[in-house]
Structures are given as structure tokens and as C-alpha cells.
Amino acid sequence: MTIKPLIILPDPVLRQVSKPIERIDADLKRLADDMLETMYDAPGIGLAAIQVGVPRRILVIDVSREGEEKQPQVFINPKIVKSSDERSVYEEGCLSIPDYYAEVERPATVSVEYLDRDGKEQTVEADGLLATCLQHEIDHLNGVLFIDYISRLKREMVIKKFTKAAKSAKAL
Ligand code: NI
């Protein structure tokens, strides 16, 4: 397994819309394993393929708590088929926007249809942290970032900060 470099804001790659996966083969399973490795190394609780520069509709999540057994989950072509009217607020972060956190309000529960790592059709009724994490990661597949839900002023400040950081990194 390989830890892959993460794509960081403001890289325009993060705004690409990812394409559906047509075949679950050894290459795709390797990508899923690399994504899990990259996510655990960061560390994070969710990662979409676009964050390692692959514009395909696959994401990995592990919302197990520290000290608990790991629960790696792979979601291929995930689709939200139902969202609750009830909303919940979580402080979100993103491996592509390191060290920045903000509260985001989203539907509290969602039903998601997807294929698992073996290509089997699955449906999950998610609530709590998993519901938020799934929505955050599925947004990535559509080129949407959690900072799109915060105020324009705050978003512009974050983008400016990361643009500046990227420029000075390039100058080195
Ligand atoms: Ni993210």
C-alpha cells in the first residue's frame, strides 16, 4: 500500500466532478487500499479519490473512535437517495484544507446507495458523524468543499490564506 500525496486548496483539481466507476478490478481495489492508508496516515476519517488526484467516484471512511477497532469502509458510486428534514451541525475539517475547521449544518440522516469493495450493492441509513462524513465526501465527488457552506467572507479568507501558502511553497 502507498501513501499518496494529498491535493490541497486552492488546487483546481478539487473542483472537478468525478466520473462513475464502471469496473471494480484489482487496480480499483489497490486505489481503495492506498486511499485508506493515506487517510489513516493523515490522520482523517474520510477521503475521496479526487483528493489524491483521481477523478473517480470512490471514497473511504472510518468513523470508529480512537481505541476502538478500525472500521474501514469503501463506497463506490455512492448516491444519496434520501435526506432527513432534521438537520445537525458538526465542526468539519478536510484533509485538503489542513488545520481549518468550521461548523456546517447538513441533514441529520441520509440513505446512501453504493457498491462496496467487492462490487455488491449496498444501502446504508446513516446518522450522526457517518451521515455528515458521507455528505462531505460525496460533495468532493461533485467538486464541492465544506467551505462552500460557510459565509462568503470566511471562505474568501481561507482561500486567500491557502493561495498565499501555495505560492510561498512554490517559491522555495
Ligand atoms: Ni474533505
Distance 125 CA to ligand 1 centre (A): 21
Question: Can you tell me whether residue 66 is helix, strand or coil?
Answer: coil
Q: Residue 37: what pLDDT?
A: 98
Please give the full DSSP string across 76-134, using - where no structure is assigned: EEEEEEEE-S-EEEEEEEETTEEEEEEEEEEES-EEEEEE-TTS-EEEEEE-HHHHHHH
pLDDT tens, 4-43?
A: 999 999 999 999 999 999 999 999 999 999 999 999 999 9
**CA 92–ligand 1 middle distance (angstroms):** 8
The pLDDT score that the predictor gives to residue 170 is: 80
pTM: 0.96
Ligand 1 ion: nearby residues, β-carbon < 5 Å: 94
Residues catalogued as catalytic? 137
Least confident of 1-5, 80-84, 90-94, 102-106: 1-5
CATH of 12-171, one of 3.40.50.170, 1.10.1520.10, 1.20.1560.10, 3.90.45.10: 3.90.45.10
Write down the mean pLDDT value for the chain.
97
Q: What percent of the chain has pLDDT over 90?
A: 95
For the residues 134-150, what does the mean pLDDT come to?
A: 98
Residue 75 annotated as part of some ligand binding site: no
How remote is the CA of residue 97 from the centroid of ligand 1, in Å?
A: 7
The reply, when asked if residue 94 is annotated as ligand binding, is yes
Q: How far is the CA of 86 from the centre of ligand 1 (A)?
A: 23
Cis, peptide link before residue 43, omega less than 30° from 0: yes
Residue 53 has pLDDT above 80, yes or no: yes
> For position 171, what pLDDT does the model report?
79
Per-residue pLDDT band for 142 (boundaries 50, 70, 90) equals: very high
pLDDT for 169? 85
69 CA to middle of ligand 1, Å? Answer: 23
- Domain ranges (residues) in the chain: 12-171
Which grid cell sits at 29?
A: 481495489
Q: What is the mean pLDDT of residues 73-97?
A: 98
Q: Report whether 140 belongs to an annotated binding site.
A: yes
Which band of pLDDT confidence, cut at 50, 70 and 90, is reported for residue 66? confident
